[in-house]
């Protein structure tokens, strides 16, 4: 039977799919739009993201993965079904066997893990394997995870920040917090509401973060400003305000500190033998949330270690699943234990 092998990065913010032999074939927001009257799925991915905050009463745009884990099982299943049919079917899907490698945060509970496995199988895959995100991120960043050396990876996504030390194909030390890019957006929404009595939506907050957000105040950045629009919280009318990079950096400082604390507490757990490897090799930074301006420098200052970005921070995890698929027998040791269900 013809088989299709796909790797899925089921992220809080984005869902990406790697097709064996082809590369990344899908990269869309993890959003699904449903008709709230009958639960019918109206749109998935980019089309659904455009609907966030703009839907009429009977349509809701939902992000079914929250903080890295499934918040709504049925909608996650619909989303996986959509990506499988869009990428793996190729006309004769009923005759194809689908093998899927799906990422989960290292910090997931057994129940959360089972939800991912089951929803992948119910969505049409015949074999579902799970891989921990930092492991996939390290593979995708071209780290040789099998060697007996310590490598440190920080993956800051939308919902989770995972700091992991990897050696010999396994995670040796881990610190996982449910604070990442989304928490930055929330901090911006709260700051703008408190300071300007202005209510802004998630998408505006994300735009502000990407355009003028930062983890470190320095000269490059101090005089950047941006005009934003929202709703006045006192009279409900539309209004604009001009906000500065400096105040956004300050608004983000609590999130930045939580991330730094996670990095430090993971370092405290590193066995001494591996510490010297990390001092030699530094830290690999990946995930969309890590792209906030200056975060690499702040982490380097706070830890006295070199910090490098992975080549494609938004793709490392899915590229890691691809590495497993391309060489399944040799790399399957890095997959999360637990028998795949057929």
Ligand X SMILES: Nc1ncnc2c1ncn2[C@@H]1O[C@H](COP(=O)(O)OP(=O)(O)OP(=O)(O)O)[C@@H](O)[C@H]1O
Q: Count the site residues for Mg ion by CB under 5 A.
A: 2
Q: Which is nearer to ligand X, 120 or 274 (CB)?
A: 120
Which residue do the tokens 């920040």 mark? 161
Task: Please spell the DSSP secondary structure of 145-207, one letter per residue.
Answer: TTSSS-EEEEEE-SS-EEEEEEETTEEEEEEEES-SHHHHHHHHHHHHHHHH-EE--HHHHHH
Nearest to 311 by CA among 133, 135, 143, 104: 143
Residue nearest to Mg ion (CB): 157
**Region of 117-125, 233-241, 260-268, 283-291 interacting with ligand X (CB under 6 A):** 283-291
Nearest to 80 by CA among 128, 20, 137: 128
Task: Indicate which single residue of 157, 289, 294, 322 sits in contact with Mg ion (rule: CB under 5 A).
Answer: 157
Residue 181 site contact among ligand X, Mg ion, none (CB < 5 to 8 Å, cut-off depends on kind): ligand X
Least distance from ligand X to the Cβ atom of residue 27, Å: 9
Judging by beta carbons within 10 Å of its beta carbon (0-12, 13-18, 19+), is residue 238 exposed, middle or buried?
A: exposed
- Cα gap 154→295, rounded to integer Å: 11
When asked if residue 284 is in the footprint of ligand X (CB under 6 A), the reply is: no
CA distances 339 to 37, 80, 170, 336, Å, are 38, 20, 17, 9
Task: Indicate which single residue of 181, 214, 230, 322 sits in contact with ligand X (rule: CB under 6 A).
Answer: 181
When asked if residue 160 is in the footprint of ligand X (CB under 6 A), the reply is: yes
Least distance from ligand X to the Cβ atom of residue 14, Å: 4
Q: Count the site residues for ligand X by CB under 6 A.
A: 23
When asked if residue 72 is in the footprint of ligand X (CB under 6 A), the reply is: no
When asked if residue 288 is in the footprint of ligand X (CB under 6 A), the reply is: yes
List contacts with ligand X (CB under 6 A): 9, 11-14, 68, 157-160, 180-182, 206, 209-210, 213, 287-289, 291-292, 314
List contacts with Mg ion (CB under 5 A): 11, 157
């Amino acid at each position: 039977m013809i088989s299709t092998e796909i790797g899925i990065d089921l992220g809080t913010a984005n869902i990406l799919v790697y097709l064996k032999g082809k590369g990344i074939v899908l990269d869309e927001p993890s959003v699904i739009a449903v008709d709230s009257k009958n639960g019918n799925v109206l749109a998935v991915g980019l089309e659904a993201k455009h609907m966030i905050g703009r839907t009429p009463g009977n349509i809701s745009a939902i992000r079914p993965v929250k903080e890295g884990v499934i918040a709504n099982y049925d909608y996650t299943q619909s989303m996986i079904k959509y990506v499988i049919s869009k990428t793996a079917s190729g006309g004769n899907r009923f005759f194809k066997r689908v093998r899927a490698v799906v990422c989960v945060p290292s910090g997931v509970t057994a129940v959360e893990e089972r939800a991912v496995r089951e929803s992948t199988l119910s969505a049409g895959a015949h074999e579902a394997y799970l891989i921990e995100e930092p492991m996939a991120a390290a593979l995708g960043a071209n780290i040789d995870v099998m060697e007996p050396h310590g490598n440190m990876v920080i993956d800051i996504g939308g919902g989770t920040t995972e700091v992991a030390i990897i050696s010999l194909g396994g995670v040796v030390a881990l610190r996982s917090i449910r604070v990442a890019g989304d928490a930055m957006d929330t901090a911006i929404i709260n700051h703008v509401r408190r300071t300007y009595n202005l209510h802004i939506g998630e998408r505006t907050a994300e735009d502000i973060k990407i355009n003028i957000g930062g983890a470190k105040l320095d000269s490059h950045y101090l005089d950047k400003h941006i005009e934003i629009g929202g709703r006045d919280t006192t009279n409900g009318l539309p209004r604009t305000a001009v906000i500065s990079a400096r105040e956004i950096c300050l608004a983000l400082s609590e999130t930045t500190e939580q991330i730094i604390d996670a990095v430090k507490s993971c370092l405290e757990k590193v066995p001494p033998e591996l510490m010297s490897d990390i001092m030699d090799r530094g830290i690999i930074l990946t995930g969309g949330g890590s792209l906030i301006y200056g975060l690499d420098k702040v982490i380097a200052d706070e830890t006295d270690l070199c910090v490098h970005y992975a080549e494609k921070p938004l793709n490392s995890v899915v590229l890691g699943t691809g590495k497993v698929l391309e060489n399944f027998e040799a790399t399957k040791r890095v997959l999360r234990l637990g028998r795949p269900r057929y």
